[in-house]
Structure 1
Amino acid sequence: MERYEALIFKEYPDFDMLVMDVASALANDLSEALHHEDRVLFAVPGGTTPGPVFDALSVADLDWERVDICPTDERWVPEINPRSNARLIKERLLVNRAMAARFLPLYASALQPEDVLAELEAMIAPKLPLAVALLGMGADMHTASLFPKAQGLEKALSENAPILVPVRREDLPETRVTLSARVLDGAMRKHLLIQGEDKRIALEKARKLRAKEAPIQSVLDGANVHWTV
């Protein structure tokens, strides 16, 4: 384990060990939070990388009935779409013991997210701050749907950002909705899961850049980074 300024970096010999350690850390953080709060909010990413962590975490012996789970971000597509983060989360995390948790979506049936953003935020606002956030990072140094050069990024990075921000970029197939950097960074516990040498290089590069250029920078303070090749 290495300590960098403002974060803890933990390296694993293989992905299986990372999965078990991250699942255990998340379970411990949620358990601790439940000792102090009636309900806790847990934000998780989509994508394929966290799937095995969800599998392991879903059998954890927690009071899941008191846990609310929301995506860190979402593509503006219905759950039946294979690209839906909600679909992945429900298939891989909200099963076994974790089936008792309550899911808070970032998507509702509307042409544009702006049409229903207030209703979606109203479900999340009373649950904040996040007790635990599990994050990922792309090689372009994005996290959640905080993409470099995206329309909406400046708003999502601002100190007084709303809870949810629509994000668009020409090369993205769909509009995205993301928790703002303010909300993600405000989590009581933050875990960043990355895999591959390119991601480690990207993380080291990001630490020298501004959040506008490397959005992951906006959530690194106090984060636990878990990495393997």
Structure 2
Amino acid sequence: MKTPDIKLPAGVRACFGETPEQVAAELADAVSRFLEQRLQEASRASLVVSGGSTPLPFFQALSEKPLDWSRVDVLLADERWVPEGDPASNTTLVRENLLRNHAAAARFLSLKQPGETPEEGLEAVRRELGQLDLPIDVLILGMGNDGHTASLFPDAPELPGAMDVSSPEIVAAMTPPSQAQRRITLTFPALSGARFTALHLKGVDKVETLRVALSEPEDLLAMPIRGFIKPGLNIFWSP
């Protein structure tokens, strides 16, 4: 397939591949190299991932990398407020597809804690993430066709607070009317400071969403993904 014809800002690197498996393998190679380097410099490293179907081959490839996973903290960028084991649970997705093989030794920090709502569980999530050192080392994001990433949805009433760069909060409860479930998400200031950020995409529709995002880069509340399209971003895309 022809490489997408899209002009990216200076400093944004593109890895456009022919198949999802090829791109997943290249992303797993890049992430494992970065984590290995960080583990030579620090006692622990952090890896923040996103859910959905697109990252599954990446999870499987990364799980086989022979890193010192016992020193890696793994967590999600966001989660639906559903019980573990629910078909909509990204926690279950990560446990079954990433935290296996070598990566079974990683420490998982769960965004889903006890409580009927994300608001009720927020304090427990903050305590869980007290084990996490910031900035995040590696961040893998996805993107919806509305320009959301993590659970930073344009229609969520909590979005301005979650996008506020001056906020000290690392997590926020989100209730976007467009979504069936309540959500919890890492905030924009927590996510945007990551040392290595990759945007992992699949499908021609995502290229078109990127074009729209690039057309008005300053309007972050309309398309929160815009806040991450900056020098240092690595875009991994496949048809």
The TM-score, its normalising length taken from structure 1, stands at 0.95
Q: Secondary structure at the match of 1:86?
A: helix
Query: Which of 208, 221, 229 lines up with 2:215 in the alignment?
Result: 208
Match of residue 200 from structure 2? 193
| Residue type of the alignment partner of 1:169 | P
Q: Is the 8 A contact 1:196 1:228 kept in 2?
A: yes
1:5 positional shift: 2.2
**Deviation string, structure 1 residues 89-137 (Cα, Å, up to 9, x no partner):** 0000000000000110111120122223122123324422110001101
For residue 32 of structure 1, report the CA deviation from its aligned partner.
Answer: 1.1
Indicate the residue corresponding to 1:135 in structure 2.
141
Gaps of 5+ in 1: none
Cα offset for 1:160? Answer: 2.2
CA contact (8 A) 1:137 1:192 kept: yes
Deviation at 1:208, TM superposition (A): 2.5
Counterpart of 2:94 in structure 1 is 89
**2:155/2:178 contact within 8 Å kept:** no
- Flag structure 2 segments of 5+ consecutive residues without an equivalent: none
Distance 2:52 2:125 in 1: 22
> % of aligned pairs identical?
36
Query: Distance in 2 between the 1:155 and 1:114 partners?
Result: 14
Residues paired across the two proteins, number: 229
Say if 2:138 and 2:194, in contact at 8 Å, map to a contact too: yes
CA distance in 2, matches of 1:226, 1:112: 34
Aligned to 2:159: 153
Distance 2:192 2:125 in 1: 20
Per-residue deviation, 1:78: 1.0
Kindly provide the amino acid, as one letter, of the partner of residue 147 in structure 1.
F
Alignment correspondent of 1:49: 54
- 2:238 aligned with 1:228: yes
RMSD across aligned positions (CA): 1.5
Q: Quote the Cα distance in structure 2 between the aligned partners of 1:118 and 1:219.
A: 27
Q: Which residue of 2 aligns with 1:64?
A: 69
- Return the letter of the residue paired with 1:78: P
Alpha carbons 1:6, 1:220 under 8 Å: kept: no
Q: Does residue 31 of the first structure (1) align with residue 40 of the second (2)?
A: no
Comparing 7-16 and 67-76, the one that deviates more: 7-16
